[in-house]
Amino acid sequence: MTSPLQITLISCAILGFRHGFDYDHIAAISDITSVQTKTSTAMRLGLLYALGHATMIALLGSIVILFQLSLPQRMDSWAERLVGVTLIILAVYVMGSLVWGNARAVPPSRAAIIIRCYRKLRRKIWPSGAASDSRTDDDVNYTGPVAFGIGLIHGLGAETPSQLALFLLAANLGGIAKGAGGMAMFLAGLLIMNTLMTASATGLFHGAVPHPRVMRLFVGLTAVYSFVVGCIFLLGSSGHLPQLS
Protein backbone atom coordinates (compact mmCIF):
# COMPACT_ATOMS: atom_id res chain seq x y z
CA MET A 1 0.00 0.00 0.00
CA THR A 2 1.33 3.43 -0.99
CA SER A 3 1.83 5.79 1.97
CA PRO A 4 0.96 9.52 1.91
CA LEU A 5 4.66 10.32 1.98
CA GLN A 6 5.38 8.17 -1.08
CA ILE A 7 2.49 9.80 -2.92
CA THR A 8 3.88 13.22 -2.06
CA LEU A 9 7.39 12.33 -3.25
CA ILE A 10 6.04 10.96 -6.52
CA SER A 11 3.95 14.10 -6.94
CA CYS A 12 7.06 16.23 -6.43
CA ALA A 13 8.91 14.37 -9.19
CA ILE A 14 5.98 14.62 -11.61
CA LEU A 15 5.50 18.31 -10.84
CA GLY A 16 9.20 19.03 -11.39
CA PHE A 17 9.13 17.20 -14.73
CA ARG A 18 6.03 19.11 -15.82
CA HIS A 19 7.39 22.45 -14.61
CA GLY A 20 10.47 21.96 -16.76
CA PHE A 21 8.19 22.36 -19.78
CA ASP A 22 6.62 25.66 -18.65
CA TYR A 23 6.46 28.72 -20.89
CA ASP A 24 9.46 30.52 -19.36
CA HIS A 25 11.68 27.45 -19.80
CA ILE A 26 10.70 27.13 -23.46
CA ALA A 27 11.52 30.80 -24.14
CA ALA A 28 14.86 30.76 -22.31
CA ILE A 29 16.19 27.45 -23.64
CA SER A 30 15.13 28.20 -27.22
CA ASP A 31 16.81 31.61 -27.06
CA ILE A 32 20.04 30.29 -25.57
CA THR A 33 20.40 27.40 -28.01
CA SER A 34 19.22 29.28 -31.12
CA VAL A 35 22.30 31.52 -31.36
CA GLN A 36 25.02 28.92 -30.80
CA THR A 37 27.05 27.62 -33.74
CA LYS A 38 28.31 24.52 -31.88
CA THR A 39 26.01 21.86 -30.48
CA SER A 40 28.36 21.30 -27.53
CA THR A 41 28.13 24.99 -26.57
CA ALA A 42 24.35 25.00 -26.92
CA MET A 43 24.02 21.94 -24.69
CA ARG A 44 26.44 23.31 -22.10
CA LEU A 45 24.70 26.68 -21.83
CA GLY A 46 21.23 25.18 -21.84
CA LEU A 47 22.18 22.87 -18.99
CA LEU A 48 23.79 25.76 -17.07
CA TYR A 49 20.47 27.60 -17.31
CA ALA A 50 18.71 24.54 -15.89
CA LEU A 51 21.29 24.27 -13.09
CA GLY A 52 20.85 27.93 -12.21
CA HIS A 53 17.10 27.45 -12.05
CA ALA A 54 17.52 24.36 -9.88
CA THR A 55 19.95 26.17 -7.57
CA MET A 56 17.43 28.92 -6.83
CA ILE A 57 14.70 26.36 -6.20
CA ALA A 58 17.02 24.52 -3.81
CA LEU A 59 17.65 27.75 -1.89
CA LEU A 60 13.95 28.64 -1.69
CA GLY A 61 13.00 25.07 -0.86
CA SER A 62 15.56 24.92 1.94
CA ILE A 63 14.07 28.04 3.50
CA VAL A 64 10.58 26.55 3.26
CA ILE A 65 11.65 23.23 4.80
CA LEU A 66 14.03 24.43 7.53
CA PHE A 67 12.00 27.38 8.77
CA GLN A 68 8.53 25.94 8.05
CA LEU A 69 7.57 29.04 6.06
CA SER A 70 5.38 29.62 3.03
CA LEU A 71 6.58 32.17 0.50
CA PRO A 72 4.36 35.25 0.09
CA GLN A 73 1.94 35.18 -2.83
CA ARG A 74 2.75 38.79 -3.78
CA MET A 75 6.38 37.93 -4.54
CA ASP A 76 5.30 35.58 -7.30
CA SER A 77 2.79 38.13 -8.62
CA TRP A 78 5.32 40.94 -8.95
CA ALA A 79 7.91 38.62 -10.50
CA GLU A 80 5.33 37.45 -13.06
CA ARG A 81 4.63 41.03 -14.17
CA LEU A 82 8.33 41.89 -14.36
CA VAL A 83 8.95 38.91 -16.61
CA GLY A 84 5.99 40.00 -18.76
CA VAL A 85 7.38 43.52 -19.29
CA THR A 86 10.79 42.09 -20.22
CA LEU A 87 9.32 39.63 -22.71
CA ILE A 88 7.28 42.34 -24.44
CA ILE A 89 10.20 44.78 -24.80
CA LEU A 90 12.56 42.10 -26.11
CA ALA A 91 9.93 40.67 -28.49
CA VAL A 92 9.34 44.09 -30.07
CA TYR A 93 13.08 44.68 -30.44
CA VAL A 94 13.69 41.26 -32.01
CA MET A 95 10.78 41.70 -34.44
CA GLY A 96 12.12 45.13 -35.42
CA SER A 97 15.54 43.62 -36.18
CA LEU A 98 13.83 41.08 -38.43
CA VAL A 99 11.89 43.71 -40.38
CA TRP A 100 14.52 46.43 -40.75
CA GLY A 101 17.77 44.52 -40.28
CA ASN A 102 19.98 42.52 -42.64
CA ALA A 103 17.74 40.01 -44.39
CA ARG A 104 20.41 37.31 -44.31
CA ALA A 105 21.74 37.88 -40.81
CA VAL A 106 20.74 35.84 -37.80
CA PRO A 107 19.19 38.20 -35.22
CA PRO A 108 21.04 38.64 -31.92
CA SER A 109 20.09 36.77 -28.80
CA ARG A 110 18.14 38.45 -26.02
CA ALA A 111 21.30 38.44 -23.93
CA ALA A 112 23.12 40.31 -26.71
CA ILE A 113 20.27 42.83 -26.96
CA ILE A 114 20.37 43.57 -23.24
CA ILE A 115 24.18 43.90 -23.16
CA ARG A 116 24.25 46.14 -26.25
CA CYS A 117 21.53 48.42 -24.88
CA TYR A 118 23.45 48.69 -21.62
CA ARG A 119 26.66 49.57 -23.46
CA LYS A 120 24.94 52.23 -25.61
CA LEU A 121 23.48 53.81 -22.50
CA ARG A 122 26.86 53.73 -20.76
CA ARG A 123 28.54 55.39 -23.75
CA LYS A 124 26.11 58.30 -23.52
CA ILE A 125 26.79 58.70 -19.81
CA TRP A 126 30.54 57.92 -19.87
CA PRO A 127 31.89 58.56 -23.42
CA SER A 128 35.41 57.68 -22.29
CA GLY A 129 34.50 53.99 -22.16
CA ALA A 130 33.17 53.85 -25.72
CA ALA A 131 36.37 52.50 -27.30
CA SER A 132 36.62 49.41 -25.12
CA ASP A 133 32.93 48.58 -25.53
CA SER A 134 32.77 49.02 -29.31
CA ARG A 135 35.46 46.41 -29.93
CA THR A 136 33.24 43.62 -28.64
CA ASP A 137 29.76 44.78 -29.72
CA ASP A 138 29.72 42.43 -32.71
CA ASP A 139 30.70 39.40 -30.65
CA VAL A 140 28.18 39.46 -27.80
CA ASN A 141 26.64 36.15 -26.88
CA TYR A 142 25.64 34.06 -23.92
CA THR A 143 28.36 32.90 -21.57
CA GLY A 144 28.22 30.29 -18.83
CA PRO A 145 27.70 32.80 -15.99
CA VAL A 146 25.00 34.65 -17.98
CA ALA A 147 23.05 31.45 -18.70
CA PHE A 148 23.38 30.35 -15.08
CA GLY A 149 22.30 33.80 -13.87
CA ILE A 150 19.20 33.77 -16.08
CA GLY A 151 18.32 30.41 -14.56
CA LEU A 152 18.68 31.88 -11.08
CA ILE A 153 16.34 34.75 -11.91
CA HIS A 154 13.75 32.46 -13.49
CA GLY A 155 13.93 30.20 -10.46
CA LEU A 156 13.13 33.15 -8.21
CA GLY A 157 10.02 34.19 -10.10
CA ALA A 158 8.76 31.04 -11.76
CA GLU A 159 8.11 28.82 -8.76
CA THR A 160 4.68 29.41 -7.24
CA PRO A 161 4.15 29.11 -3.48
CA SER A 162 1.80 26.18 -4.08
CA GLN A 163 4.59 24.20 -5.73
CA LEU A 164 7.08 24.93 -2.97
CA ALA A 165 4.38 24.00 -0.45
CA LEU A 166 4.86 20.37 -1.54
CA PHE A 167 8.31 20.41 0.08
CA LEU A 168 6.75 21.70 3.28
CA LEU A 169 4.08 19.02 3.11
CA ALA A 170 6.74 16.32 2.69
CA ALA A 171 8.61 17.73 5.70
CA ASN A 172 5.45 17.72 7.80
CA LEU A 173 4.74 14.11 6.84
CA GLY A 174 8.22 12.75 7.51
CA GLY A 175 10.56 15.41 8.89
CA ILE A 176 13.24 17.62 7.35
CA ALA A 177 14.98 14.71 5.63
CA LYS A 178 11.78 13.70 3.85
CA GLY A 179 11.15 17.31 2.88
CA ALA A 180 14.62 17.47 1.35
CA GLY A 181 13.80 14.22 -0.45
CA GLY A 182 10.71 15.82 -1.95
CA MET A 183 12.77 18.78 -3.14
CA ALA A 184 15.37 16.43 -4.63
CA MET A 185 12.66 14.55 -6.53
CA PHE A 186 11.29 17.85 -7.88
CA LEU A 187 14.76 18.96 -9.02
CA ALA A 188 15.47 15.60 -10.64
CA GLY A 189 12.26 15.80 -12.67
CA LEU A 190 12.98 19.39 -13.70
CA LEU A 191 16.57 18.66 -14.78
CA ILE A 192 15.53 15.60 -16.79
CA MET A 193 12.90 17.59 -18.69
CA ASN A 194 15.24 20.54 -19.31
CA THR A 195 17.96 18.21 -20.57
CA LEU A 196 15.53 16.71 -23.07
CA MET A 197 14.35 20.18 -24.10
CA THR A 198 17.90 21.45 -24.54
CA ALA A 199 18.86 18.47 -26.69
CA SER A 200 15.75 18.89 -28.85
CA ALA A 201 16.21 22.65 -29.30
CA THR A 202 19.91 22.21 -30.05
CA GLY A 203 19.15 19.72 -32.80
CA LEU A 204 16.43 21.90 -34.29
CA PHE A 205 18.39 25.16 -34.40
CA HIS A 206 21.69 23.54 -35.38
CA GLY A 207 19.97 22.16 -38.48
CA ALA A 208 18.73 25.67 -39.37
CA VAL A 209 22.06 27.51 -38.93
CA PRO A 210 23.20 26.98 -42.57
CA HIS A 211 19.88 28.47 -43.74
CA PRO A 212 19.59 32.06 -42.41
CA ARG A 213 16.06 32.59 -43.75
CA VAL A 214 14.78 29.49 -42.00
CA MET A 215 16.60 30.57 -38.86
CA ARG A 216 14.99 34.01 -39.03
CA LEU A 217 11.58 32.39 -39.39
CA PHE A 218 12.17 30.40 -36.20
CA VAL A 219 13.38 33.51 -34.36
CA GLY A 220 10.37 35.49 -35.62
CA LEU A 221 7.98 32.87 -34.32
CA THR A 222 9.81 32.96 -31.00
CA ALA A 223 9.39 36.77 -30.86
CA VAL A 224 5.63 36.50 -31.48
CA TYR A 225 5.39 33.80 -28.83
CA SER A 226 7.34 35.94 -26.34
CA PHE A 227 5.12 38.97 -27.01
CA VAL A 228 1.87 37.07 -26.47
CA VAL A 229 3.12 35.32 -23.34
CA GLY A 230 4.59 38.61 -22.07
CA CYS A 231 1.18 40.34 -22.36
CA ILE A 232 -0.47 37.51 -20.46
CA PHE A 233 2.18 37.65 -17.72
CA LEU A 234 1.89 41.43 -17.49
CA LEU A 235 -1.84 41.12 -16.85
CA GLY A 236 -1.15 38.58 -14.10
CA SER A 237 -3.11 35.97 -16.01
CA SER A 238 -0.50 33.25 -16.48
CA GLY A 239 -2.79 30.85 -14.64
CA HIS A 240 -5.16 31.04 -17.62
CA LEU A 241 -2.54 29.78 -20.07
CA PRO A 242 -3.28 26.31 -21.47
CA GLN A 243 -1.51 23.48 -19.67
CA LEU A 244 1.44 22.29 -21.75
CA SER A 245 1.48 18.83 -20.25
Domain borders along the chain are: 4-240
Q: What is the pTM of this model?
A: 0.75
The C-alpha atoms of residue 86 and residue 27 are separated, in whole angstroms, by 12
Segment 110-134, tens digit of pLDDT: 666 666 676 777 777 776 655 555 5
CB 122 within 8 A of CB 133: yes
Contacts of 8 (CB under 8 A, 6+ apart): 166, 169, 170, 173, 182
- For 236, which DSSP code? T
Segment 27-84, tens digit of pLDDT: 788 878 876 778 888 899 999 999 998 998 888 888 878 887 666 666 667 777 777 7
Q: What pLDDT score was predicted for residue 196?
A: 94
